[in-house]
């Protein structure tokens, strides 16, 4: 699905160059759930931004589903992004003035679906994430855990192949964090590829593979035991 080969990305600020990614190579197959760990500043967000086609590489090769992106146009990247990728952020990034269902419906405006198809998709994820009873609420009226469930609903309403999650539990308490991680695990079990950045070492157990970055390079890349021995939890209760 993804092949990064010798990818580098640097930033220059106040005449000082920072190498965020240093000749990094990484292949990701459909169906993996990769947890990316590493100390602050090691390049985790830079990597996720590149994978999400929100930023460009300086050097190397990035092939996404057979398309080389190093030389692709912005519109090609935008099309691939809208079709294949869902994003989940630490701060939820919901639009304050829109209701739960309006927030969830937003990405569908860029898809070729009619009104009835859009409504059906929104309905399906509202129920799947157990937020149907909050459909007319504004984000400010929701708890952090509920807001993140709305954000996940918005990320999956387009039925993406890949979810990129940047510290999705960074603003949640332990109960809501466990709910969100269980939702991600279930999405992965149903075939969605997930790449997640986290500071929470214990979340590695939800994934299939762990990648540890250090100074813009991969320091560790190892599978997580096939037996993901999580207890089944009541994950979607309020």
Ligand X SMILES: Nc1ncnc2c1ncn2[C@@H]1O[C@H](COP(=O)(O)OP(=O)(O)OP(=O)(O)O)[C@@H](O)[C@H]1O
- Which residues of the chain form contacts with ligand X (CB under 6 A)? 11, 13, 18, 20, 38, 40-46
Q: Which is nearer to ligand X, 14 or 96 (CB)?
A: 14
CB of 11 to ligand X, least distance (A): 3
CB of 126 to ligand X, least distance (A): 31
CB of 42 to ligand X, least distance (A): 4
- The H or E element that residue 87 is part of is strand 85-89
Q: Which is nearer to ligand X, 89 or 206 (CB)?
A: 89
CB of 37 to ligand X, least distance (A): 9
Q: Which is nearer to ligand X, 122 or 213 (CB)?
A: 213
Between helices 144-156 and 174-189, what is the axis angle to 10°?
20
Helix (H) and strand (E) counts in the chain: 6, 10
Sheet harboring 16-28: ordered strands across? 16-28, 2-13, 59-64, 67-68
Q: Which is nearer to ligand X, 50 or 94 (CB)?
A: 50
CB of 28 to ligand X, least distance (A): 18
Q: Which is nearer to ligand X, 144 or 170 (CB)?
A: 170
Segment 98-102 long-range contacts (CB within 8 Å, at least 24 positions apart): 98/138, 98/139, 99/135, 99/136, 99/137, 99/138, 100/126, 100/131, 100/134, 100/135, 100/136, 100/137, 100/138, 100/139, 100/142, 100/150, 101/126, 101/135, 101/136
């Amino acid at each position: 699905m993804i092949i990064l080969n010798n990818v580098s990305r640097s930033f220059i600020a106040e005449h000082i160059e920072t190498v965020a990614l240093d000749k990094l190579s990484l292949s990701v197959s459909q169906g993996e759930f990769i947890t990316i760990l590493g100390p602050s500043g090691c390049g985790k967000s830079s990597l996720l931004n590149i994978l999400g086609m929100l930023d460009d590489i300086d050097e190397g090769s990035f092939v996404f589903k057979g398309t080389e992106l190093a030389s692709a146009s912005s519109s090609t990247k935008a099309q691939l992004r809208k079709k294949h990728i869902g994003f989940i952020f630490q701060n939820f990034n919901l639009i304050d003035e829109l209701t739960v269902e309006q927030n969830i419906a937003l990405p569908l405006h860029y898809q070729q679906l009619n009104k009835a198809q859009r409504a059906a998709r929104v309905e399906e994820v509202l129920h799947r994430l157990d937020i149907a009873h909050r459909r007319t609420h504004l984000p400010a009226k929701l708890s952090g855990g509920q807001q993140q469930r709305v954000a996940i609903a918005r990320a999956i309403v387009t039925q993406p192949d890949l979810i990129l999650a940047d510290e999705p539990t960074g603003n949640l308490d332990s109960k809501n964090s466990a709910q969100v991680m269980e939702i991600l695990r279930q999405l992965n079990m149903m075939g969605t590829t997930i790449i997640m950045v986290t500071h929470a070492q214990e979340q590695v157990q939800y994934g299939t593979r762990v990648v540890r970055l250090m100074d813009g390079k991969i320091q560790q890349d190892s599978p997580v035991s096939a037996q993901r021995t999580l207890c089944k939890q009541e994950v979607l209760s309020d």
